[in-house]
Amino acid sequence: MKIGIFGGSFNPPHKMHLHIAKSLLSRNYVDKVIFVPVSNFYSKKGLVSNQHRYEMLKRLVKDYPNMEVSDYEFQNKLIYTYETLRHFKECYSADEIYFICGMDNLEEFHEWRHYEEILSTYQVIVITRNKEVEIPTYLKPYQKNIILAETHERNISSTSIRNTLLEGKVDENLTDEVYEYIKNNKLYEKENL
């Protein structure tokens, strides 16, 4: 089985995250997608709590049996991507582990801890809006492990969604279940950021 590990802040999770997972599954890049939200140890401005992001992701994927959410990174320390991938390789030792990321991640991959291990041990699926993407020179030795997966959807930014919510508006890029959770828990309101 091909297991896709989809890491991110998911602050909040939105329809594009779901579209990416569905697209990778339907095009047989992977057989299962595991969403792995980063912990609050990841110092990112405006990051709502681990539990809220976990609950929103569960609502996002609830109707998809080949998608799940992991709280693995919610430990009392910063967990790096290579550690997360090692963890899932141990859990799914008979399976292939794929790391799912965006093109922006690939451009700064050399700044990640143990990036060489990630690129030499795992397949990395890079989500692009254009197949005509140039792989950075320093990644050329790992090109056989880099898979470009084009998406034809427009880019949706969690930042722009948060800004819309701050204005008290409903954002069309959220599923109804995620929006209801945000509203019921008063997330992304000025007094809560």
Q: What's the pLDDT score for residue 156? A: 82
Q: What's the pLDDT score for residue 86? A: 98
Domain ranges (residues) in the chain: 2-155
Nearest in space to 2 (alpha carbons), one of 100, 98, 120 = 98
Tens place of pLDDT for every residue, the chain, 193 residues?
A: 999 999 999 999 999 999 999 999 999 999 999 999 999 877 777 899 999 999 999 999 999 999 999 999 999 889 999 999 999 999 999 899 999 998 888 888 889 999 999 999 999 999 987 767 788 888 999 999 999 998 876 678 888 999 999 888 888 999 999 999 999 999 998 755 5
Q: Are 135 and 114 in contact (CB under 8 A)?
A: no
What's the CATH class of domain 2-155? Answer: alpha beta
Ordered DSSP codes for the chain: -EEEEEEE--SS--HHHHHHHHHHHHTTS-SEEEEEEPPTTS--TTPPPHHHHHHHHHHHHTT-TTEEE--TT-SSS---HHHHHHHHHHHTTTSEEEEEEEHHHHHTGGGSTTHHHHHHHSEEEEEES-S-PPPPGGGGGGGGGEEEEE--SPP--HHHHHHHHHTTPPPTTS-HHHHHHHHHTTTT-GGG-
The pTM for the full model equals 0.93
Six token digits for residue 172: 């069309």
